[in-house]
């Protein structure tokens, strides 16, 4: 009897396995790497694998009608300008304020075609490499705001800096400003919604992106990892820093935290505002929105504040393609001398890894910097499993003395990108991300200098040291790598 029971149970599990595999191949249309990963999971974790697939394997089925209804008016605002830019780029008629940027017009055109990302050339950018400076600047801008404050973060913590910023937003809402907050429910799961009660009473509006409740836990695989702030439609922030004490080395973790964030003024802010509004339309319950009033408040006339050329590029599971990854690969392919990368997690797909290898084989100076101290042990094991695939091709790998959360790529000290995107499969494919692609020699040279300063503090990984890892560590790296596409 027991034998028959186990045989029937085994047959049932095999049938379910087959159904999930067929779903992955023919319904979800997953790529070969993902399919292979799930076959391994179903084989070695047959029951747990079903649960994992339901939470982390399903493709995005966006409520597209709801999103597109809100997006339509915004897209129309830029469509004419986009067509004009596309025509000018294709016919080499764009007048670049920095003539050197003509060398990278094909990167710009790719972003216009793939992401509808307008090129703006009237921007000024401040770069922050620590949380203290970023929060001081952000708080000052919030205090001086007069019309609207739009905030989107993956994580908003209920700690000192979180309470201070929410308290300040409550004060501004009481003054009559439009205050909107979006936070990712998965990323901020430990933050109680009661933290926003006073803000909501004051007239602020708070929305959770993909709220995790009964019937929606299957969305846990898709996370809004963006960090966007737009103040009065004229000042924008984006980068790696969420809201939390740990970004100022004041949290419970004692590890030194190193990050990168941007403050932008100029026309690029309006493109950043579009990214926020698109997400707002998706998760908002606002009714009877006065579109004309909204446009005047959120898209005021912008005065030139600088001469830096910027494209704001977003990607996510609702988009057709991995725009930010493609943009970085295009940068790598355009490099003539050097490629510098900072990332907390390095789990590349084959196309990204080969782009780096090809650049190094072509004589480019390729350097990758990762944390010396991890925040997620399993992910760190997977990251380490890729180091040999870099060093075998002459790519230098550095371990920063602390937790490096910066997401920055610089080529030749000429073009740079900074934003929310990690160099891993999850960021490229599953998470909602946003990056600034910056075409400016002075700014990008500064980014390269920041990389070199960090490099001088870091440890260069040698083959001798790398191969001295214990057999147990190597086993963990190989095992966890099987699940790399999910991390």
Contact 159, 289 (CB under 8 A): no
Ramachandran area for residue 321 (φ above 0: left; ψ -120 to 50: alpha; else beta): left
Q: Is 287 a catalytic residue?
A: no
Per the residue annotation, which of 30, 111, 185, 225 is the catalytic one? 225
| Catalytic residue, candidates 178, 349, 412, 431 | 412
Identified catalytic residue from 405, 431, 440, 454: 405
Asked if 41 and 20 count as a contact pair (C-beta separation under 8 A), the reply is no
User: Could you tell me where the DSSP H helices lie in 144-299?
Assistant: 160-174, 197-201, 268-283, 291-298
CA neighbor of 433 nearest in space, from 277, 225, 278, 242: 225
201 tagged catalytic: no
Among 444, 438, 435, 440, smallest CA distance to 115 is for: 435
- 163 catalytic residue (yes or no): no
Burial class (CB in 10 A: 0-12, 13-18, 19+), 73: middle
Check 30, 134, 157, 227 and give the catalytic one: 227
Q: Which of 259, 407, 424, 440 is catalytic?
A: 407
Reference 131, options 471, 340, 377, 402; nearest CA is: 402
Establish whether 232 is a catalytic residue: yes
Q: Please check whether residue 382 is in contact with residue 422, taking contact to mean a CB–CB distance below 8 angstroms.
A: no
Neighbouring CB atoms inside 10 A of 148's CB total 20
Q: Which of 141, 184, 232, 440 is catalytic?
A: 232
Query: Rounded to an integer, what distance in angstroms lies between the CA atom of residue 127 and that of residue 445?
Result: 12
- Cα separation, 264 vs 134, in Å, equals 12
DSSP 8-state symbol, 306 = -
Q: Which residues are catalytic?
A: 225, 227, 232, 405, 407, 412
């Amino acid at each position: 009897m027991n034998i028959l029971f186990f045989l029937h149970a085994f047959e049932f599990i095999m049938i379910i396995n087959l159904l999930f595999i067929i779903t992955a191949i023919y319904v979800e249309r997953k790529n070969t790497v993902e399919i292979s990963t799930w076959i391994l999971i179903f084989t070695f974790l047959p029951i747990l694998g079903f649960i994992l697939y339901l939470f982390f394997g399903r493709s995005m089925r966006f409520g597209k009608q709801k999103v597109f209804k809100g997006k339509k008016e915004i897209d129309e605002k830029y469509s004419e300008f986009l067509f004009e830019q596309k025509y000018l780029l294709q016919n080499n008629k764009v007048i670049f304020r920095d003539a050197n940027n003509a060398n990278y017009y094909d990167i710009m055109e790719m972003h216009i075609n793939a992401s509808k990302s307008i090129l703006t050339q009237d921007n000024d950018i401040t770069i922050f490499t620590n949380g203290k400076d970023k929060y001081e600047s952000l708080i000052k801008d919030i205090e001086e705001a007069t019309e609207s404050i739009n905030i989107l973060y993956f994580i908003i913590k209920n700690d000192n800096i979180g309470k201070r910023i929410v308290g300040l937003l409550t004060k501004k809402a009481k003054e009559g400003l439009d205050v909107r907050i979006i936070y990712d429910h998965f990323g901020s799961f430990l933050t109680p919604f009661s933290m926003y009660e006073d803000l909501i009473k004051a007239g602020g509006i708070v929305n959770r992106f993909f709220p995790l409740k009964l019937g929606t836990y299957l969305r846990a695989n898709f996370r809004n990892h963006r960090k966007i702030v737009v103040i009065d439609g004229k000042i924008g922030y984006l980068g790696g820093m969420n809201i939390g004490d740990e970004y100022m080395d004041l949290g419970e973790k004692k590890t030194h935290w190193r990050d990168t964030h941007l403050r932008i003024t100029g026309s690029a802010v309006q493109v950043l505002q579009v990214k926020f509004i698109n997400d707002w339309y998706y998760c908002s319950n606002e009714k009877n929105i006065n579109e004309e009033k909204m446009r005047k408040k959120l898209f005021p006339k912008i005065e030139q504040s600088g001469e830096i050329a910027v494209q704001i590029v977003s990607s996510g599971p609702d988009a057709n393609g991995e725009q930010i990854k493609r943009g970085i690969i295009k940068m790598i392919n355009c490099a003539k001398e050097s490629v510098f990368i900072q990332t907390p997690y390095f789990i590349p797909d084959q196309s990204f890894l080969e782009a780096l290898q090809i650049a190094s084989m072509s004589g480019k100076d390729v350097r990758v910097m990762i944390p010396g101290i991890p925040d997620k042990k399993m992910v760190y094991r997977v990251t380490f499993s890729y180091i040999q695939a870099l060093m075998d091709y002459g790519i230098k790998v550095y371990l920063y003395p602390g937790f490096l959360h910066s997401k920055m790529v610089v080529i030749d000290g000429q073009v740079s990108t900074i934003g929310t995107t990690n160099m891993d499969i999850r960021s490229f494919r599953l998470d909602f991300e946003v990056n600034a692609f910056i075409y400016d020699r002075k700014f990008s040279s500064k980014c390269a200098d920041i990389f070199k300063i960090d490099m001088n503090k870091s440890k260069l990984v040698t083959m001798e040291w790398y191969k001295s890892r214990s057999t147990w560590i190597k086993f963990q790296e190989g095992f966890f790598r099987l699940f790399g596409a999910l991390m």
